[in-house]
């Protein structure tokens, strides 16, 4: 599911890049800038890094998409999976208060001045 979201976001990033590329660069540099943008950052050579550094408006990523195309950024965000508000609903996570111990003697403790080494009393949680 995340792969589909990433593919859609990349489509919007590519469209924003092409739009900015048409504004900035002259025809001769477009191919070199396009190759530099599509090359992963770790594999770029010095010339590609220099080209992209000289044109910072072409450094577009999914996190910066809202600056170039607000509608596409909103659509991209709406495709993300909706997570449950709390992990216990999904069958995983930390149980809430009162779910901890169902047996006898389960409950909360009151400590003298908050010191866990000096318990004062015990009470059952309000449910």
Is residue 15 situated within a structural domain?
Answer: yes
User: Of 23-27, 50-54, 77-81, where does mean pLDDT reach its minimum?
Assistant: 77-81
Q: What is the 3-state secondary structure (H, E, C) of the chain?
A: CHHHHHHHHHHHHHHHHHHHHHHHCCHHHHHHHHHHHHCCHHHCCHHHHHHHHHCHHHCCCHHHHHHHCHHHHHHHHHCCCCCCCCHHHHCCCCCCCCCCCCCCCCCEEEEHHHCCCCEEEEECCCC
Is residue 112 situated within a structural domain?
Answer: no
Token output for 125: 């949680």
When comparing pLDDT for 106 and 87, which is higher?
A: 106
Is residue 39 situated within a structural domain?
Answer: yes
Is residue 9 situated within a structural domain?
Answer: yes
Tally of domains within the chain: 1
Is residue 113 situated within a structural domain?
Answer: no
Is residue 91 situated within a structural domain?
Answer: no
Query: Per-residue confidence at 21, pLDDT binned at 50, 70, 90?
Result: confident
Is residue 20 situated within a structural domain?
Answer: yes
* Residues spanned by the domain of 20: 2-78
For range 12-37, the mean pLDDT: 86
In the chain, the percentage of residues whose pLDDT exceeds 90 is: 8
52-74: pLDDT as tens digits: 898 888 888 887 877 887 787 77
Is residue 98 situated within a structural domain?
Answer: no
């Amino acid at each position: 599911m995340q792969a589909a979201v990433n593919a859609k976001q990349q489509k919007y990033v590519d469209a924003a890049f092409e739009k900015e590329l048409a504004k900035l660069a002259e025809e001769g540099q477009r191919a070199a800038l396009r190759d530099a943008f599509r090359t992963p950052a770790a594999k770029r050579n010095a010339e590609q890094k220099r080209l992209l550094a000289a044109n910072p408006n072409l450094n577009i990523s999914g996190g910066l998409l809202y600056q170039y195309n607000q509608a596409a950024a909103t659509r991209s965000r709406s495709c993300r999976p909706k997570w449950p508000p709390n992990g216990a609903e999904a069958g995983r996570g930390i149980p809430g208060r009162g779910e901890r111990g169902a047996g006898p003697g389960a409950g909360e403790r009151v400590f003298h001045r908050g010191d866990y080494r000096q318990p004062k009393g015990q009470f059952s949680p309000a449910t």
